[in-house]
Amino acid sequence: MLAHILKKISYILLMLVTVQSFSQISGNVTDNKTGLPIDFVNVWIKNTLNGTTTNTNGNFDFENAKVGDTLLISYLGYEELEFTAKKENVVKLIPTLVELDEVIIIPMRNEQIKTIKSYKKYRKIKEFYFNGHYSLARFYEYKKEYKQNPFFKKLSVVISSSLKDKVKFKMYIIKADKDGKPSNQILSEYYILETDKGQNEITVDLTEEKLMIPKGGFFVVVDRLNLKENKFSNKIASDILQPAIGMEKEDSEKNTWLGFSGKWIAPNELKRFAGSNKNIAINIELTD
């Protein structure tokens, strides 16, 4: 009888431990130097597509993670961090020192415009990268013709959302490394953008940054943010991450990379992860 009771107690304790280990993980991410919260940071289970995103207060809830998982944060401007998940996590990111290229000061006149076009009319785009927590980065090789218009003026991207409320996503520019791959050097500011329901063209004005095109090439990155308010559910599926990102209509040279968990997947492997390997649809305005 006693053995039977002890067996039941052991079973109950085992169930409690199991439930606890698979329960929701939470945490807060701050800057180690300033102590300020860092918003819209992606937190991943290492080497997986399972992730979450911090909110405006630097807080995150991670329903798909469990105590003991190896979590990873790779956020440009900070040292990459791995840590073992606890029930509640206090995370402090250390800013990185980036060696800057030699700066050549050229006055910006903003008189002449050149456009690198990916699409003519945004409503004619019919293909999109849908559900999935990842970043998409499109590579642009430097061309001699850019010398006449060396500054970024505007970036435009085509976005679609099924939610009635506004959906947030992130957009920025990073430098290409010497091999033409995404580097860890961010060139522009992070832009947190919003889109309404339906298919829209969202434009970022970069004029105030006076940002010059790097001669080694660059990537325009669109980040999908895994926030509760960015998830759509219907009768067919639940928690479909929004927004969807438009693809180029033409089957041009494939220059779009996919990023998650601190790594980048090359264009020739993109289809296996995202269902297509077309370029994301981006229009760029350059100025003198």
- The enclosing domain of 214 has a CATH number of 2.60.120
- Asked whether residue 218 is domain-assigned, the answer is yes
Confidence of residue 246 (pLDDT cuts 50, 70, 90): very high
- The pLDDT of residue 245 is above 60: yes
For residue 112, pLDDT beyond 90: no
Are residues 76 and 208 both part of a single domain? no
**105-132 mean pLDDT:** 89
The answer to whether position 100 is within a domain reads: no
For residues 18 and 143, state if they share a domain.
no
Structure tokens at 265: 């997947």
| pLDDT score for 98 | 63
Q: What pLDDT was estimated at residue 13?
A: 43
Tokens of 29: 């991410």
Domain that residue 71 falls in: 2-93
pTM, rounded to two decimals: 0.89
- Specify whether 179 is located in the same domain as 263: yes
According to the model, what pLDDT value does residue 99 have?
59
Closest CA to 34 of 99, 89, 95: 95
- Do the domain assignments include residue 98? no
pLDDT at 253: 87
253 and 147 co-located in one domain: yes
At 250, the pLDDT band (50, 70, 90 cuts) reads confident
Specify the pLDDT at position 18.
43
Does residue 278 form part of some domain? yes
The string of pLDDT tens digits covering residues 35-70 is 999 999 999 999 999 999 999 999 999 998 999 999
Which tens digit of pLDDT belongs to each residue from 148-178?
999 999 999 999 999 999 999 999 999 999 9
> What is the pLDDT confidence band of residue 102, given thresholds at 50, 70 and 90?
low
**Of 24 and 43, which is predicted with more confidence?**
43
Indicate if 259 and 123 belong to the same structural domain. Answer: yes
For 71-82, write each residue's pLDDT tens digit: 999 999 999 999
Q: Which segment of 18-27, 126-135, 155-164, 188-197 scores lowest on mean pLDDT?
A: 18-27
Residue 105 lies in a domain: no
Are residues 201 and 158 in contact, defined by beta-carbon separation less than 8 angstroms?
yes
Q: Average pLDDT for residues 226-249, to the nearest whole number?
A: 93
Work out how many domains the chain is built from and give that number. 2
Looking up residue 54, the CATH number of its domain turns out to be: 2.60.40.1120
Let me know if residue 161 belongs to a domain.
yes
> How many of the other CB atoms lie within 10 Å of CB of 101?
12
